[in-house]
Amino acid sequence: MRLNDVVGMMFNGAAARLRRDALMYGTCAVCGVAALILASSASLIALEPIVGAVYSRLIVGGVFVLIALIVVVSVRLSQPRQRPHSVAAAAAQPQAAPRNQQFAQIAMIIEAVMLGYSLSRKSDRR
């Protein structure tokens, strides 16, 4: 076998594996969404006689919001924080950065004042 044949067989096998994995994960995602829809529907039916139609939907919606918040917080907490490797690396940053930041803040304030003034002048002309 030549090198081209070996490389071709390797990529064909990888493409087939990726296709099979994509089909498997896609099927799992569709089944998960269907299970979520059925579970939320069942919980609405179970809660309606107890708390009413409106509050049952609010409770189910609140549960989904709570799940989303838990996911966001867990992702935020699992990310490593970006810290300088040493004190020398932090000291090596140029001192001009705070001055440029102050200049940008002053420029934004001036632009906001000018925009407000021009908008107030336009409303006076009407």
Single pTM value for the model: 0.48
pLDDT tens-digit series, residues 45-87: 999 999 998 999 999 999 999 998 998 898 888 888 776 565 5
Phi, psi of 18 (to 5 degrees): -65, -40
Tell me how far apart the alpha carbons of residues 10 and 1 are, in angstroms, rounded to a whole number: 13
In the predicted structure, residue 17 carries a pLDDT above the cut 70: yes
pLDDT tens-digit series, residues 104-125: 888 888 888 888 777 777 765 5
In the predicted structure, residue 1 carries a pLDDT above the cut 70: no
Provide the 10 A C-beta neighbour count for residue 60: 16
Tell me how far apart the alpha carbons of residues 43 and 9 are, in angstroms, rounded to a whole number: 51
